[in-house]
Amino acid sequence: MKVAIVTGASSGIGLAIVKVLLKNKYKVYGFARDFSKTEFENSRFIKVVCDITKTSILEEKVKYIIDVEKEIGMLVNNAGVGYFGPHEEINTKKLHEMIATNLEAPVILTHLLLRNLKNNFGYIINISSITAKKSSPIGCAYSATKAGLSHFSESLFDETRKAGVKVITIHPDMTKTNFYANANFREGDLEESYITGECVANAVDMVLNQREGTVLTDITIRPQKHMITKTSIKK
């Protein structure tokens, strides 16, 4: 049975991707800090409680999976965190959390799993952000981490394509999830002003069902309308 590892799998985009992978006959190890609010259950969905910014613990968990499973065919680097505002107002702890979660952990996970993915002609799917492709005045550090992830993906594909590894970067725009809990804005109220986790998961489904030899390396998903709702930051 094909095996996938998905980070940020407890809700939102990550959980939607888990469901698509299950539909495509994968066994999924989902990583998240907390699954207490995740009601979804499936015999092929193994919940792994792990803070992916704790490198030694992450490495231990992944090496265990490698020892147990022989056909690891996919890594989805989905976990992400964003703090927004003038750069000088974002404290160093939050800056470090964004760098560690959005960029460092995907690079380390890829390092740990790359040989297995090469052996299985596997997929690496990195969930970046539309902000990786444009200026983000109140999200300088966040957009930098996502731009770094996108560039890593592009270079990694060129490095590993001869080995049969498919590296895909997905750039979602405003998505209706709990991601904006740390921001003073969120998606608009109209359905046309946001995408959903299922929209991103459907893109993953499309990636998996391409003819052999075709790779969709860069996917951008945007809502039809651009609307932002101002909110208060939750403490």
CA dist., res. 165 & res. 217, Å (int)? 11
pLDDT cut 90: percent of the chain above it: 87
What's the pLDDT tens digit per position in 22-64? 999 999 999 999 999 999 999 999 999 999 999 999 999 999 9
- 197 near 15, Cβ under 8 Å? yes
Q: Which fold has domain 2-230?
A: Rossmann fold (3.40.50)
pLDDT averaged over the chain?
A: 95
**Given 11, 128, 129, 136, the catalytic residue:** 128
pTM for this structure?
A: 0.94
**Given 61, 146, 166, 176, the catalytic residue:** 146
CA dist., res. 166 & res. 222, Å (int)? 23
CA dist., res. 9 & res. 40, Å (int)? 11
In the DSSP assignment, the letter for residue 33 is: S
Look at residue 88 in the predicted model and tell me its pLDDT.
Answer: 97
- Active-site residue flag, 10: no
Does the pLDDT at position 175 exceed 60? yes
**Given 123, 142, 180, 194, the catalytic residue:** 142
What's the pLDDT tens digit per position in 55-109? 999 999 999 999 999 899 999 999 999 999 999 999 999 999 999 999 999 999 9
What's the pLDDT tens digit per position in 189-226? 888 899 999 999 999 999 999 999 999 999 999 999 98
3-state secondary structure of 31: strand
- Active-site residue flag, 128: yes
- Active-site residue flag, 146: yes
CA dist., res. 205 & res. 191, Å (int)? 22
